[in-house]
Amino acid sequence: MKRYWRLGEPWVWLSGAALTATLLAAATLLVVIMVNGLGVFWPGAEARLTLKDGSKIFGEVVQRGEKPDGGERLQLSTGNRDLYGLDFRWIDSADVALIDYPGDALIVERTEYGNFHGFLRQLNGSAAVTSEQLHLELNQLRQARSVVADLEEEMNELSGASESNRLKIRKREFAGKRDAADYQLLQQRQNELDRQFQQVQGRHSEAIADLRTSVAVFADAAGTTREVTLADIVRVYAPNAMSLPAKVGHYLSKIWELLSDEPRESNTEGGLFPAIFGTVMLIFLMSAFSFPVGVLAGIYLREYARDGFFVRLVRIAVNNLAGIPSIVYGIFGLGFFVYGIGGGIDRFFFPESLPTPTFGTGGILWASLTLALLTVPVVIVATEEALGAIPGDIRAGSLALGATKLQTLMRILLPMASPGIMTGFILAMARAAGEVAPLMITGVVKLAPSLPLDGSFPFLHLDRKFMHLGFHIYDIGFQSPNVEAAKPMVYVTTLLLVLIVLVMNSIAIRLRNRMKKRYSYGTF
């Protein structure tokens, strides 16, 4: 027994148990997210429950539970929020007389009030209609929607041009150049832009009115009818009549909508493209700021700074900065970047826009700089440790062969330390992708009307606010008007955020492994 403890076998088992517990925790996390997120868009069977009192309820059975006093109860996703105010309903199994699955039952996805579960009764006043006629009408309506989308894009362009021209007029008024010739030309151009905008707006209103002339009438299982404008319908499908290929096609179309469309219904439905774009762009901007600064600071501390009291104090401070709560960085970003630097930029370069702030309010630039400050200590520590792991004989040999210190650093030390530096970069990206608290203070919003990167000059708009997947999870999970109905989207968004982090980290790890293979110690 003494020999058993002397050889350290218990510690081997203990370390193995710790590794197993860690892997199980990570696997459990992924399994929970995937189980609750992957099946959200799969069309489930819609059941019609006939109760013993003669009433009927239509919906998807999403959960079965035991009653405290015995027996079973069913939770149905009934939709029809505009009729009953609830998306879910519990029914005792003992009260159910019959359950059937009608093939003509439809789920109508709407832009407002969630899904409608029921049956088609009328289409444009005609009672003798089928779901095929409804789909044909919706396909024709999509072509008209493209015209509306083009008009909205034209309105946005005219609005942007009008705002830019208005700021030019204000700038000349600030400079006291009301009598200048170009001032009169700008006034004429402003009038012309306003006239064009009103014309396009009129055409847009007429197109919207034409879209809203087509209506359909649906009825729920109890016979209560609801008139729905076809322009408010996103898609209609009959889950009980769908074949397996049809269900797969529906699932893929919902995935594509998630990745390419904008959110709707208080962010609980629709797509996540603005949040995906904002998250990825935030990580790239943060990396562009933090990685060079962190690497240069780490190089100086390890290779050039003389080891003394001040340098040791700086190292202690850098290590402690990595443990400061992120909300503290958010407050600093608000006070220093937003109100300090941003307010100064507005006063010196955009006085004509005041009191409306341009850079003196939250935006993706200040959020990126705040996260860069948050992650710089990680990069500095990783760079120092990577450079410190290189044997001193390599430095001495390079210098003995006539290389300068800069040549030794650029051609020997940095290539050899690059895998370790990339490790710090990976950790910085992973931390920045999941931070929410500082973003809530420095520029993230519930719904961003425009992206920070678009086709209008100057293309990259660093003053704009943005959406973020982490904040999106918080918003729909805790700030949604209907938390229970939004819970599936919470898991979907969480799964998407995990996938983005895994993809970006996998790319960085692959680059690190290639560097490690190329610049291994044996190469020199």
The segment with the largest mean pLDDT, out of 59-68, 223-232, 321-330, 331-340, is 331-340
Q: Is residue 298 part of a domain?
A: yes
Q: How many whole angstroms separate alpha carbon 77 and alpha carbon 91?
A: 11
The helix/strand/coil state of 295 is helix
Query: Of 213, 232, 256, which residue constitutes the final position of a domain?
Result: 213
pLDDT band at 248 (very low <50, low <70, confident <90, very high): very high
pLDDT in tens, 24-45: 999 999 999 998 888 889 898 8
Using pLDDT thresholds of 50, 70 and 90, give the confidence band for residue 356. confident
Q: Which of 100, 123, 146 is the last residue of a domain?
A: 123
Question: CB neighbours of 229 closer than 8 A, spacing ≥ 6?
Answer: 211, 212, 214, 215
* Bridge partners, residue 50, by sequence: 56, 98
Q: Are residues 421 and 341 in the same domain?
A: yes
Mean pLDDT, the chain, integer: 86
Sign of CA dihedral 180, 185, 188, 194: negative
Q: What is the CATH number of the domain that holds 468?
A: 1.10.3720.10
Which residues contact residue 465 at a Cβ distance below 8 angstroms, ignoring those fewer than 6 apart? 362, 363, 364, 443, 444, 445, 448
The verdict on residue 320 lying in a domain is yes
Retrieve residue 460's tokens.
Answer: 């990259």
Give pLDDT, residue 353: 78
Residue 437 and residue 410: Cα distance in Å, rounded?
38
Is the model's pLDDT at 522 over the cut of 60? no
467 belongs to a structural domain? yes
Per-residue model confidence (pLDDT) at position 4: 66
Same domain, 355 and 447: yes
**Percent of the chain having pLDDT more than 70?**
97
> For residue 448, is it within any domain?
yes
DSSP at 251: H
At residue 164, does pLDDT exceed 50?
yes
Whether 230 is in a domain gets the answer no
pTM: 0.86
pLDDT digits (tens, 9 = 90+) for 73-111: 888 888 888 888 788 888 888 888 888 888 888 999 988
Contact 100, 47 (CB under 8 A): yes
Q: What is the pLDDT of residue 338?
A: 93
Residue 519: is its pLDDT beyond 70?
Answer: no
Average confidence (pLDDT) over 278-288: 92
Same-domain pairing of 146 and 290: no
Lowest-confidence region among 122-136, 142-156, 186-200, 418-432: 122-136
What is the tens place of the pLDDT at every residue in 305-326? 888 888 889 888 888 887 888 8
CB 384 within 8 A of CB 413: no
Q: Is the pLDDT of residue 266 over 80?
A: no
pLDDT at 350 over 90: no
Q: Contact, 411 vs 394, CB < 8 A?
A: no
What are the pLDDT digits (tens) for 418-444?
Answer: 888 888 888 888 888 888 999 999 989
**Chain mean position to CA 285:** 16
Residue 494 is predicted with a pLDDT of 92
CATH code of the domain in which 109 resides: 2.30.30
Shared domain check, 108 and 132: no
In this structure, the answer to whether residues 89 and 178 fall within a common structural domain is no
Question: What pLDDT, on a 0 to 100 scale, did the predictor assign at position 254?
Answer: 92
Check whether 523 has a pLDDT greater than 50. Answer: no
Q: What is the pLDDT of residue 28?
A: 93
Same domain, 207 and 331: no
The residue ranking higher by pLDDT, 522 or 292, is: 292
Whether residue 138 is contained in a domain is answered as yes
Note whether 306 and 345 are same-domain residues.
yes
Residue 110 counted as domain residue: yes
Do residue 332 and residue 449 come from a single domain? yes
- Whether residues 464 and 395 fall in one domain: yes
pLDDT digits (tens, 9 = 90+) for 5-19: 677 777 888 888 999
Backbone angles phi, psi at 296, to 5 degrees: -65, -40
| Per-residue pLDDT, 79 | 83
Mean pLDDT highest for which of 318-322, 407-411, 484-488? 407-411
347 within domain boundaries: yes
* End position of a domain, from candidates 163, 191, 213: 213
Q: Are residues 80 and 118 in the same domain?
A: yes
Distance from C-alpha of 463 to C-alpha of 350, rounded to nearest angstrom? 12
Domain count, the chain: 3
Same domain, 147 and 67: no
The pLDDT of residue 520 is 60
Quote the tokens at residue 77: 């996703």
Q: Are residues 311 and 439 in the same domain?
A: yes
| Domain that includes residue 206, residue range | 125-213
